[in-house]
Chains A and B, each alone.
Chain A
Amino acid sequence: DQQVKQNSPSLSVQEGRISILNCDYTNSMFDYFLWYKKYPAEGPTFLISISSIKDKNEDGRFTVFLNKSAKHLSLHIVPSQPGDSAVYFCAASAVDYKLSFGAGTTVTVRA
């Protein structure tokens, strides 16, 4: 059974606006969470992460929020740019090497 879920398969946003991607998880042992970005015909690349001891991590235009009680995390992209159009995967880890991924959300940034 999938332990990491991204319930929105797609998101369309206007350039300059905020993109909010959501992710839910079921395994309370997860203590590290990551977001990956994937362009067509390429492998996923690491974007940003957060440890379970934090509730927010920011890196430039990208911010990840973690709500442990709700077992929910979100990725905010502000402002959205055309180059952000990609598939975004949420991932979680309880063991050092083992990542559990969500199904991905396809983001389209409209000019």
Chain B
Amino acid sequence: QKEVEQNSGPLSVPEGAIASLNCTYSDRGSQSFFWYRQYSGKSPELIMFIYSNGDKEDGRFTAQLNKASQYVSLLIRDSQPSDSATYLCAVNGPSNTGKLIFGQGTTLQVKP
């Protein structure tokens, strides 16, 4: 079992729709969860982080965490073509050293 799992996609949604990206992790001791966006040929950039169960909203983005189910998701409202990218889920281990374990990423395509 991979430490952090994501569906590689591609996930295709029409412009203006809600895109839902999902991630599961294996280590119950994980404390911190991150979503990065990576455009093709570019570096990952941090979108959101979440530490507590529940929802965290930032603009069009909402991160959801359920530690009991070991599940974290990212919702993108009013999807735009510029949101088309690979979204990487990352988990920080219990030692909280900043070492992040990444999933393989989900490719999102937003069609105009």
Q: State whether these chains interact.
A: no
User: Residues on A close to B: CB < 8 A?
Assistant: none
User: Residues on B close to A: CB < 8 A?
Assistant: none
